[in-house]
Chain A
Amino acid sequence: MMGLIQFGWSGLTALAAMIPMQPPAASTIAGEVDQLYYLLTGITLFFTVLIFSIIFYFMVKYRRRSADEKPPEIHSSLVLELAWTIIPSLICVVIFVWASSLYIRNSRPPVTSTEIFVIGKQWMWHLQHPEGPREINELHVPVGVPVKLTMTSQDVIHGFYIPSFRIKKDVLPGRYTSIWFEATEEGTYHLFCTEFCGTNHTEMIGWVYVMSPTDYSAWLAGSEHSEPMAQQGERIFNHYTCGYCHVADGTGRGPSLVGIFGKPEKLSSGEMRMVDEDLIRQALLLPNSVPVAGYAPIMPTFQGQFTEEQILQLIAYVKSLGLQERANQ
């Protein structure tokens, strides 16, 4: 009999050992998100156990002992009602403040972040490093460096999710979303699509390789790749003779693009718009929807002429113009 119990127990512990409980925590925010998760788990356990115990206690204590039993009259209690309205409310306030402040902090990439571009398409991830290397369903990043991902989709909505970093953001067609992370542990981590995107959604998965800075440099140097994105963007810029109007010194028929990225620009409606990825995209595809103050709305549309990748290269080029200017100052 003892043997049987022992056998059963060892079987149970073996089973328990097979069950993973905790995903790897490999980014700077993972630990903080986990702490909040543990707090919420604690609250859930506490109230579940509380409610279950009270119910079981009442079930036993007040079980019907005779068919014609009459319970005493219990009157409602305003004090109790207020107590169990206010106490949960206070708990909710604490959770809300904690979760929101963490979220706000986590949603702002550090200014020192390096940028990597992501294009989702049915059913693969294209990842592009500014230095030139392109990857499919694989992302190589250095440990200890904040990385900002600027993402868009070529077709339907996808979801970019790295569980071990506790980050996720939907990837939308026609606009850019971004997230950032700083990996803290070298290793290999899952990359999943979390927004159902069609037949092979379940196979739109990949790997994130977190490497030491030296390994990463070696990987960058060793990987076969074309020129940096900004240079590719410059070639597109020249091929379409964009510089004919967008003259660098501001004397052209269109606004100069030098140093405009990340700064507000006045539209002819008087509205100020921050020049970001979305605005450049809009100016390329629907130029008349964002006419810049002081310039005639004569820019032709480039709708349907560029791939998502080329638009990102042009954006990288415009960004680089700002950097060159800053470097020259």
Chain B
Amino acid sequence: MSMAIADVHEVPAESRVNYLNATYGLKSWLLTLDHKRIGLLYLATITLTFVVGGMAAVFMRLNLIEPQGALVEPETYNKLFSIHGIIMVFFFLVPSIPATLGNFLIPLMIGARDVAFPKLNLMSWYIFVTGAACVLYAVMTGGVDTGWTFYTPYSSSYSHTQVIAAAVGIFIAGFSSILTGLNFLVTIHKMRAPGMTWFRLPLFIWAMYATSLIFVLGTPVIAVTLLLLAAERLLHVGIFDPAIGGDPLLFQHLFWFYSHPAVYIMILPGMGVISELITAFSRKKIFGYSFVAFSSLGIAIISFVVWGHHMFVTGQSLYAGLVFSVLSFVVAIPSAVKVFNWTATLYKGSISYEAPMLYALGFIGLFTMGGLTGLFLASLATDVHLNGTYFIVAHFHYIMVGGAVMAYLGGIHYWWPKITGRMYPDLWARFAALIIFVGFNLTFFPQFMLGYLGMPRRYGIYPAEFQVLNVMSSAGASILAIGYVIPLIYFYWSWNYGPPAGPNPWGATGLEWTTASPPPTENFEHIPVVTEDAYNYPTAEVASE
């Protein structure tokens, strides 16, 4: 962009005051109001929760190597998939990109010194940690076996596990989402640098804006739902259990009213990241800026009216089924528009293949598959057969892992030099990206086939004819696990020994690349003045046309 870049090249990162070395000691981190440090606090926290959720998945896949269950009793298996789902959804995917990269980048990208409410921001992290601690308590004291969906009346009247502790944990963490969303909305509205108009914003900001809307509007519903669940479980108020006068499907309506938009909480930020990566590594302006921007908002809005597609086989009325089916097809369109625009952005670009770009391209492919397989489930007649089977498991892992986690890793790699001021070994990073791509597909593609064959999800013991595909899936999972460990190692190395990155190692546009790496605590020496659109990469004279 147009402002002069401070001549930070000559000064080694260590001798310059930045947000990492401005103050020292545990207290300086735990009481920090700096959005960048809070982003790193979240990064550390969700890396831990990812490890816990991932370990549960490892044990599940190991168990499924044999039809009779190679490792654990069904009771334990049920707790494993419940913990895997609860941790990964509420304590990894929901906060993943918004709380880490969003916190770190929103002020930097819009040219602000911090978020609108720094104290609220720190409080959000403490609330999140408290929620996570509740869930860990539930795990330690016997676990929970309801699945992440907590369907009633099983969860409210029948399960003998730590349902309340887990629900309270999610309830508490919800406030962290709401406050973070509020903070981001106000920040994006009120704190943009002079000249940073709405249509000059990077698309990551648009995506975070749409995500924040869902945070604020959707999260209260899940909070209330879990409160009602606790009321029925503890006080026997008849809400969901028909034995005491409740309606078991009411819970599913309320739960999915939040939890379907929550799927977009997980994927929209990823889409924002991908728009940044594709443009940076093809040195191109995004194709169809306003279409990509408004498709984020469109997805956020429509996502609130598709929840009933989770309930096609619950006995909801035929007409409700038809309405939710058509709306589910509608929500697919803006996602398709994004995929086409990203692909078109590559056209006549100057494309390079550093690790973040590999993640971005992997994202497009896997998200395309995840999205298209969603059509099988939006279609009423096929959903009847596929609902509740491994087809669903495969579909949403293509979106959540193939989509959201790939984007998260791509984003972490892309902004790592900005966050730490250091580079990582790109060859290793590319290798890890490849391993993850291969491992992911080997893990989850066979699950599409298992689902069509009729294998139900949440089975710790299964008929022998499904074994070959399960073994393939488990083999893939072990490759995937290795792929996830490699980055932990080279990032650790890079943090300590990586070569200095300089302010803009990728030659990317965006205000965050105009300040030093790592940025100073106040982000910019002078608040920048923006005079150009986003992604204004230098273009050649039109000679080759």
B158 near A155: Cβ-Cβ < 8 Å: yes
B interface SS class: helix
Specify which of A159, A164, A166, A190 is in contact with B463 (CB 8 Å cutoff): A190
Q: Which residues of A contact B299 (CB under 8 A)?
A: none
Contact B388 A161 (CB under 8 A): yes
Check B339 against A51 for contact (C-beta < 8 Å).
yes
- By a CB distance below 8 angstroms, the chain B residues around A166 are 384-385
- Known A44-B372, A100-B322, A159-B313; contact A194-B387, beta-carbon cutoff 8 A: yes
B284 on the interface (CB 8 Å rule)?
yes
B residues less than 8 Å from A21 (CB atoms): 449, 453
* Known interface pairs A73-B285, A100-B380; A85-B248 also in contact (CB < 8 Å): no
Residue of B nearest to A173 (CB): B242
Contact flag A161-B314 (CB < 8 Å), given A18-B468, A69-B350, A92-B332? no
In residues 445-497 of chain B, which contact A (Cβ within 8 Å)?
Answer: 449, 452-454, 456-463, 465-466, 468-469, 472
Stretch at the interface among B94-102, B172-180, B186-194, B286-294: B286-294
Is B199 part of the binding interface, using a Cβ–Cβ cutoff of 8 Å? no
Scoring B residues 283 to 310 as 1 if CB is less than 8 Å from chain A, else 0, what string do you get?
A: 1110111010000000000000000000
Interface residues of B in 508-542 (CB under 8 A from A): 537-540, 542
Q: Does A275 contact B (CB under 8 A)?
A: no
In the assembled complex, the CB of B379 is this many whole angstroms from the nearest CB of chain A, namely: 3
Q: Which residues of A contact B458 (CB under 8 A)?
A: 196, 201-202
How far in angstroms is the closest Cβ of chain B from A146? 17
How far apart are A203's CB and chain B's nearest CB, in angstroms?
6
User: CB distance A95 to B329 under 8 Å?
Assistant: yes
Chain B nearest Cβ from A69, distance in angstroms? 4
Contacts of A65 in B (CB 8 A): 350
Indicate the member of B149, B315, B368 with the most A CB atoms within 10 Å. B315
- Residues B388 and A88 in contact, CB atoms below 8 Å apart: no
Task: Please judge, given known A-B contacts A58-B347, A71-B540, A168-B385, whether A202 and B373 are in contact too, CB under 8 Å.
Answer: no
> Is A4 close to B, CB under 8 A?
no
The reply on A84 being an interface residue by CB < 8 A is: yes
Q: Do A201 and B288 touch across chains, with their CB atoms under 8 A apart?
A: no
Q: Does B431 contact A (CB under 8 A)?
A: no
Whether A62 pairs with B318 at a CB distance below 8 angstroms is no
Q: Is the CB of A193 within 8 A of B456?
A: yes
Specify the chain A residue showing the minimal Cβ separation from B156.
A156
The listed residue (B74, B344, B472) touching A199 by CB distance below 8 A is B74
Nearest B residue to A101, CB-CB:
B381
Does chain A have a CB within 8 A of B321?
Answer: yes
B397–chain A nearest beta-carbon distance, Å: 16
Assess the B381–A33 pair: CB atoms within 8 A. yes
Q: Is B382 part of the binding interface, using a Cβ–Cβ cutoff of 8 Å?
A: yes
Size class of the contact patch on chain A: 35 or more
Interface residues on B, range: 35 or more
Contacts of B147 in A (CB 8 A): 196
Within 8 Å of chain B (Cβ to Cβ): is A74?
Answer: yes
Residue B505 interfacial (CB < 8 Å): no
Q: Is B351 an interface residue, CB under 8 A from the partner? A: yes
Contact A36 to B382, CB < 8 A, known contacts A71-B283, A177-B315, A202-B77: yes
Q: A187 at the A/B interface (Cβ < 8 Å)?
A: no
Q: Which residues of A contact B457 (CB under 8 A)?
A: 194
Which of A170, A174, A196 sits near B243, CB closer than 8 Å?
A: A174
Contacts of B348 in A (CB 8 A): 62, 71-72, 74
Chain A: CB-nearest residue to B377: A40
B211 touches A (CB below 8 Å)? no
Does residue A111 face the partner (Cβ distance < 8 Å to B)?
Answer: no
| Residue A110 at the chain B interface, CB threshold 8 Å | no
Q: Are A201 and B540 in contact (CB under 8 A)?
A: no
Residues on A with C-beta less than 8 A from B375 are 40, 43-44, 92, 95
Contacting A at CB under 8 A, from B423-463, are 449, 452-454, 456-463
Closest-by-CB residue of A relative to B283 is A71
Interface residue ranges of A169-192 to B (CB < 8 Å)? 169-170, 172-175, 177, 190, 192
Is residue B325 contacting chain A, with contact meaning CB distance below 8 A? Answer: yes
Please, how many angstroms separate the alpha-carbon atoms of A95 and B368 in the complex?
18
**Known contacts A55-B343, A73-B285, A74-B284; A170 and B313 CB within 8 A of each other:** yes
Contacts of B78 in A (CB 8 A): 196, 198-199, 201
Among A71, A102, A172, which residue has its beta carbon within 8 angstroms of that of B282?
Answer: A71
- Residues of B near A52 (CB, < 8 A) are 365
In the docked arrangement, what's the CA distance between A69 and B284, Å? Answer: 11
Q: Which of B315, B344, B350, B351 contacts A172 (CB 8 A)?
A: B315
Contact of A84 among B329, B336, B352, B378 (CB under 8 A): B336
- Pairwise interchain contact B158-A198, C-beta atoms closer than 8 A: yes
Query: How long is the Cα–Cα vector from A175 to B317 in the complex, in angstroms?
Result: 14
Q: Does A249 contact B (CB under 8 A)?
A: no
Chain B residue contacts of A141, Cβ below 8 A: none
Q: How many angstroms from the CA of A219 to the CA of B348 in the assembled complex? A: 72
Residue in A92, A159, A200 whose CB lies within 8 Å of B74? A200
Whether a CB of chain A sits under 8 angstroms from the CB of B198 is no
Q: Are A64 and B372 in contact (CB under 8 A)?
A: no
Contact across chains for B379 and A95 when beta carbons are under 8 A apart:
yes
Whether A64 lies near B337 (C-beta < 8 A) is no
* Contact assessment for B248 and A72 in the assembled complex, using a CB-CB cutoff below 8 Å: no
Known pairs A92-B333, A98-B379, A177-B315. 14 more at Cβ < 8 A?
A20-B465, A33-B384, A40-B376, A43-B375, A72-B539, A93-B329, A96-B329, A168-B387, A168-B388, A196-B147, A201-B458, A202-B77, A203-B74, A203-B461
9 A–B pairs (Cβ distance < 8 Å), ordered by A? A19-B449, A20-B453, A22-B453, A55-B343, A55-B346, A70-B283, A168-B388, A170-B315, A201-B74
